[in-house]
Amino acid sequence: MSEVFGGVETGGTWCACALGTGPDRILAEHRFRTGPPERTVARIADFFAAHPRPSAVGIGAFGPLDLDPGSPTWGHVTATPKPGWSGFPLAPGLRDALAVPVGIDTDVAAAALAEQRWGAGAGAGTVCYLTVGTGIGAGLVIDGRCHHGLVHPEAGHLRIPHDRGADPFAGVCPVHGDCWEGLASGPAIAARWGAEARTLADDHPAWALEAEYLALGILAIVSVASPHRMILGGGVLARPALLDAVRVRLRALAAGYPPTPLLGERIGEYLVAPRLGSRAGVLGAIAIAQSTPATTARAPTEPARPVR
């Protein structure tokens, strides 16, 4: 059998595992509810033990994460509100359980990588994938690699313009209050209007305000990172008319600058929906595995950490 790779997406609610090389060759898949960290890693290990051994495994995980390869806590989940997961050595634990090279990035970065390689970002050198749901997250892929700096991108905490006279809502972010996520995430919509986003009518004033806030944040990303394509996903963007409304507001806010037709009459080619759907995260994890160096495998003499 030719070389295969493993992908794991650990979400706040669900964990997905897959074995293959890309969307056209998936040999096995499994999905289960994310539980306590040790049990979750054990179930992931059980999945891969039942199939041909992967050359490497990639993880797309909820965060925040320590992604500094020189850090003693590389691959750990850091200060997450998910009970039991703060400080958990996710990538090292899975590496030790499987004894194969393991790579890790955020779930949104994994989705960005998959969309750039196989989906709506194919052919674009720099792609930003933005997800708007329980929170707001962004993954930035430059020349086929997920971008990190001091930490991984935390676009949800951008401080966008907030006119408190027009919108006195204080925001829901426990750290910043009215940052981008605090104003425009799914929980922000529910808290401001007293109803879940999915229950609001298409003509509800929530959607015009949401389009405004999303366009403001996207313009900040465009101005700094200048991606060749922006891909918008997540539960809030499932509202069919919202993407078009964001396009209209982004074009108006850009006001012809930068002077490119992709922020003007061709904005429909620039701000696009994802193509890979719910599989983007686990497919991106496979892409992470494909670029993971063999040096991330645990040395045979190093004692394995228990994961059960």
Domain regions of the chain by residue span = 5-107+279-296, 120-274
Torsions phi, psi for 307 (to 5 deg): -120, -5
CATH code for 120-274?
A: 3.30.420.40
Q: From residue 77, how far is each of 62, 87, 104, 196, 222 by CA, in Å?
A: 8, 5, 11, 29, 29
The one-letter amino acid at 179: C
Q: Please, what is the end-to-end C-alpha distance for the chain in angstroms?
A: 31
The fold of the 5-107+279-296 domain, in CATH, is Nucleotidyltransferase; domain 5 (3.30.420)
pLDDT tens across the length of the chain (308 residues): 589 999 999 988 899 999 999 999 999 999 999 999 999 999 999 999 999 999 999 999 998 999 999 999 999 999 888 899 999 999 999 999 999 999 999 999 999 999 999 999 999 999 999 999 999 999 999 988 998 887 788 899 999 999 999 999 999 999 999 999 999 999 999 999 999 999 999 999 999 999 999 999 999 999 999 999 999 999 999 998 999 999 999 999 999 999 999 999 999 999 999 999 989 999 999 999 999 987 554 433 333 333 33
- Give the H/E segment covering residue 98: helix 90-98
Place of tokens 């994890």: 285
